[in-house]
Every structure is written in structure tokens, then in C-alpha cells.
């Protein structure tokens, strides 16, 4: 473990910014992960990345070697649903990671975008060019990607202001009691497993609307509408209802023949950053999802 003390000149700054200034070889994203995982402590306590620091506080941290990451162009297979001078709408396949990280250094959607697209926005840095929002590795479906910073700022604001509409279809284990409803919880890192997200009394507010589309004897097909966009939000909310997403090996159980959860981003709506036209896109379920549904018996 290493340590340093907060200086007078650093007071009232965020912990992650102070740490990044001291250790610029660590990316902000990596620093946040270290803080979330309890590998960076302030006065011996776990805090959030945005915690404001005070003079003479002690920062204690584990030394984690970080090799530099580069997002290089690679020929990655994915579908471009729409493209113009400002943005791209892609259909991300299941199993494709969105951007490089410490565990997945290449072979991501970003690597594929760099191979096929000349210009992408630079707001999120060299590892996440153009990425406005993300989907989990094993979640398929629609994503919008920004080609320039103006488009990126507009799209990010729409997501923050909840004017960008995102709808998902998920197959849940068993059957929900209600045909529709809304789930409102706080989500935070699990205390027992920092790689997981859990419903908590603190953390960030997460709100999901849901509507049962079809009921089967052993499962139900449910449409989720995101009102916030937290990590693993739908998967954790489904688990909190007692009905995990089918095939989710993190919050439910793995299913033979499936490569991950049956969760698909099928609908996306936003206002075009340049023209102000209302844009909406809808795509069908992937074949593996449809084939699984065909094996089930409708109630």
C-alpha cells in the first residue's frame, strides 16, 4: 500500500481529480474503479470518486500497474442501422464489449468504429471516442454514437434530461404478478462483490418502467423503459422483482445454449442534434432470442 496527504492547494477538489493529478498515468475511469472497489481510501474509509477532500487527509491506495491502452482500428462485425454527418446508430451484437478496458484490450465496438468511421467525437477520450451511452457485453441492440463533439454534447444532454427514449425487451424467469409498473430504487456497488451492482439504501437513483408483452408457462417477455441509465439497471431491477433475466449468469443463472442474458435494446428515440428532427429506430429481436421464445409455451 502507498499513501500521501492532501495539501492545502488541493482542498475542496474531488478525490479522483486529485489522485489523477498526482498519478497521471492512471486514467480517470481506472481511478474511479479503484475508488469504487475500495482500493483508494480517504482517512481509511471508502468514499465516492467525487468526495471533496480536505487538507491533511490521508489517501491510502493499492498500487495497481496499468499498461497503456490504445483503441486501434479493427475489422469488427456489427450492423450500422443509420449514419449521417453527425451520428451513427448501430445494432450491437451480443458478446461485443463497447470499448477497451483493463479486461478487454481490443476487439470492441470502438475498435470496429475506428476501422469503419473516419471521424468520431473526442469528448470521452481515446478509449471511448463517440460513445454517448453503453450496453452490457451480453446485451444486444441499438446504440447511438456521436461523430463530433457538438452532437455528443446534445445527445448526452438528452439522455441526462430523459428526453432520449430507450426501450428494451427482456425475457424474465417466471411470471410477474402485475402486467405493468415502475421500479424505483437506489443502486450501488455490492458490498459482497464489487463487480456487481445491488439495490441499496444509498447510491444513485434508478427508475425503470415495465410492461408485460407476453406470458409463457415458465417465463414472461417484458418491455422495459429506462428513465435513468445506471450500470446493469434492468438486470438488477429484474432480480429485485424475483424474476431475473433468462440467461443472466451474474444476477440469475446461466442457461445451456445461451451465451448471456436475453436482453435486447429494440427501440431508440432522440432529437437530431443538428436538424432537431425527431428520430426513432426499432429493430427486431436477434435470431437466438426468437428461437428461444419459439420453444416456450404461451399461456
Residues with a catalytic annotation lie at 136
- Residue whose cell numbers read 424505483: 184
CA distance 271 to 47: 37
Q: Is the dihedral of CA 24, 136, 257, 89 positive or negative?
A: negative
| CA-angle at 267, arms to 280 and 153, nearest 5° | 60
CA neighbor of 125 nearest in space, from 7, 20, 252, 244: 20
CA distance 193 to 144: 31
The torsion defined by the Cα of 250, 135, 260 and 83, in degrees rounded to 10, comes to 180
Residue 145 C-beta-side C-alpha neighbours within 13 Å? 32
273, with CB counted inside 10 A (0-12, 13-18, 19+), is buried
Q: Which three cell numbers stand for residue 52?
A: 471533496
Q: Which three cell numbers stand for residue 184?
A: 424505483
Q: How many CB atoms lie within 10 A of CB 103?
A: 6
Amino acid at each position: 500500500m502507498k499513501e500521501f496527504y492532501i495539501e492545502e492547494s488541493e482542498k475542496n477538489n474531488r478525490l479522483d481529480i486529485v489522485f489523477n493529478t498526482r498519478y497521471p498515468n492512471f486514467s480517470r475511469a481506472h481511478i474511479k474503479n479503484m475508488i469504487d472497489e475500495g482500493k483508494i481510501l480517504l482517512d481509511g474509509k471508502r468514499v465516492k470518486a467525487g468526495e471533496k477532500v480536505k487538507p491533511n487527509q490521508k489517501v491510502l491506495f493499492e498500487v495497481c500497474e496499468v499498461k497503456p491502452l490504445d483503441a486501434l482500428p479493427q475489422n469488427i462485425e456489427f450492423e450500422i442501422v443509420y449514419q449521417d454527418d453527425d451520428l451513427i446508430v448501430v445494432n450491437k451484437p451480443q458478446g461485443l464489449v463497447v470499448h477497451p478496458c483493463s479486461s478487454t484490450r481490443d476487439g470492441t465496438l470502438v475498435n470496429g468504429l475506428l476501422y469503419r468511421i473516419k471521424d468520431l467525437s473526442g469528448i470521452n477520450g481515446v478509449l471511448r471516442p463517440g460513445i454517448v451511452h453503453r450496453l452490457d457485453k451480453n446485451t444486444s441492440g441499438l446504440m447511438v454514437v456521436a461523430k463530433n463533439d457538438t452532437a455528443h454534447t446534445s445527445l448526452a444532454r438528452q439522455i441526462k434530461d430523459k428526453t432520449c427514449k430507450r426501450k428494451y425487451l427482456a425475457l424474465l424467469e417466471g411470471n410477474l404478478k402485475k402486467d405493468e409498473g415502475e421500479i424505483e430504487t437506489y443502486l450501488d456497488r455490492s458490498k459482497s462483490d464489487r463487480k456487481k451492482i445491488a439495490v441499496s439504501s444509498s447510491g444513485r437513483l434508478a427508475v425503470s418502467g415495465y410492461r408485460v408483452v407476453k406470458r409463457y408457462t415458465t417465463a414472461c417477455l417484458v418491455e422495459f423503459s429506462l428513465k435513468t441509465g445506471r450500470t446493469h439497471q434492468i438486470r438488477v431491477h429484474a432480480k429485485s422483482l424475483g424474476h431475473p433475466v433468462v440467461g443472466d449468469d451474474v444476477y440469475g443463472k446461466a442457461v445451456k445454449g445461451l451465451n448471456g442474458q436475453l436482453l435486447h435494446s429494440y427501440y431508440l428515440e432522440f432529437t437530431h442534434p443538428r436538424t432537431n428532427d425527431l428520430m426513432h429506430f426499432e429493430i427486431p429481436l436477434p435470431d437466438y432470442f426468437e428461437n428461444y421464445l419459439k420453444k416456450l409455451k404461451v399461456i
